[in-house]
Amino acid sequence: MAQYPEDVQKMLGVLLEHNEWRRRQTINLIAAENVMSPLAELVYLNDLMGRYAEGSVGRRYYRGTRYVDLLEEALSKSFAEILGAKYVDVRPISGTIANLATYYGLAPEGGTIASLPTRAGGHISHNQVGGPKALKFKVLELPWDPDAFNIDVDKARRLIEENRPNIVILGGSLYLFPHPIKEISEAAHAVSSYVLHDSAHVFGLVVGGKFPNPLREGADVTTSSTHKTFPGPQGGLIASALEGEVNESIARGVFPVFTSNYHMHRYAATYVTLAEMRQFGAQYAEQIVRNAKALAEALHANGFDVVAEHLGFTQTHQVAVDVSKLGGGEAVSKLLEDANIIVNKNMLPWDKSAVKPSGIRLGVQEVTRWGMREGDMAEIAGFFKELLIDGKEPGQVRRKVVEFRSQFLEVKYGYGVDGELARRLLGSMGLTL
Ligand X SMILES: Cc1ncc(COP(=O)(O)O)c(C=O)c1O
CA dist., res. 374 & res. 76, Å (int): 35
Q: At what angle do helices 95-106 and 245-252 cross, to 10 degrees?
A: 130
Q: Which residue is at the shortest CB distance from ligand X?
A: 95
Q: Which helix (H) or strand (E) holds 4?
A: none
Residue 340 binds ligand X (CB under 6 A): no
What does the per-residue mask of binding to ligand X show for 230-259, with x meaning CB under 6 A?
Answer: ------x-----------------------
Beta carbon of residue 159, minimum distance to ligand X (angstroms, whole number): 20
Q: Which stretch binds ligand X (CB under 6 A): 59-67, 94-102, 303-311, 386-394?
A: 94-102
Residue 71 binds ligand X (CB under 6 A): no
Q: In this complex, which beta carbon is closest to ligand X, that of residue 96 or of residue 270?
A: 96
Residue 114 binds ligand X (CB under 6 A): no
- How many chain residues bind ligand X (CB under 6 A)? 14
Beta carbon of residue 192, minimum distance to ligand X (angstroms, whole number): 25
CA dist., res. 107 & res. 111, Å (int): 6
171 known member of a binding site? no
Q: In this complex, which beta carbon is closest to ligand X, that of residue 44 or of residue 415?
A: 44
Sequence-distant (≥ 6) Cβ neighbours of residue 355 within 8 angstroms: none
Residue 173 binds ligand X (CB under 6 A): yes
Residue 318 binds ligand X (CB under 6 A): no
- Which of 354, 365, 362, 413 has the alpha carbon at shortest distance from 383? 362
CA dist., res. 200 & res. 276, Å (int): 18
Q: Which stretch binds ligand X (CB under 6 A): 7-15, 92-100, 133-141, 240-248?
A: 92-100
CA dist., res. 116 & res. 202, Å (int): 17
Q: In this complex, which beta carbon is closest to ligand X, that of residue 96 or of residue 358?
A: 96
- Which of 314, 325, 324 has the alpha carbon at shortest distance from 346? 324
Beta carbon of residue 361, minimum distance to ligand X (angstroms, whole number): 10
What does the per-residue mask of binding to ligand X show for 153-172, with x meaning CB under 6 A?
Answer: ------------------xx
Task: Characterise 421 by phi-psi region: left (phi > 0), alpha (psi -120 to 50), beta (else).
Answer: alpha
DSSP string, 338-370: HTTEE-EEE--TT-S-SSS--EEEEE-HHHHHT
Residue 200 binds ligand X (CB under 6 A): yes
Beta carbon of residue 365, minimum distance to ligand X (angstroms, whole number): 13
CA dist., res. 281 & res. 206, Å (int): 9
Q: Which stretch binds ligand X (CB under 6 A): 50-58, 194-202, 255-263, 271-279?
A: 194-202
Position among 32, 160, 221, 294 found at the interface with ligand X (CB under 6 A): 32
For every residue of 142-169, which 3-state class applies, written as one string?
CCEECCCCEECHHHHHHHHHHHCCCEEE
Position among 72, 198, 297, 366 found at the interface with ligand X (CB under 6 A): 198
Q: In this complex, which beta carbon is closest to ligand X, that of residue 235 or of residue 394?
A: 235
Residue 139, helix vs strand vs coil = strand
Residue 220 binds ligand X (CB under 6 A): no
167 known member of a binding site? no
- Which of 218, 164, 178 has the alpha carbon at shortest distance from 195? 218
Position among 185, 193, 225, 358 found at the interface with ligand X (CB under 6 A): 225
Beta carbon of residue 45, minimum distance to ligand X (angstroms, whole number): 21
Residue 94 binds ligand X (CB under 6 A): yes
Beta carbon of residue 129, minimum distance to ligand X (angstroms, whole number): 13
Residue 366 binds ligand X (CB under 6 A): no
Q: Which stretch binds ligand X (CB under 6 A): 149-157, 197-205, 315-323, 385-393?
A: 197-205
First to last CA, the chain: 14
123 known member of a binding site? yes
- Which of 235, 276, 234, 295 has the alpha carbon at shortest distance from 412? 276
The strand pairing partners of 139, in sequence order, are 113
DSSP label at residue 200: T
Residue 229 binds ligand X (CB under 6 A): no
Residue 20, Cβ density class (10 Å: 0-12 exposed, 13-18 middle, ≥19 buried)? exposed
Beta carbon of residue 347, minimum distance to ligand X (angstroms, whole number): 13
- Rule CB under 6 A: which residues touch ligand X? 32, 94-96, 123, 125, 171-173, 198, 200-201, 225, 236
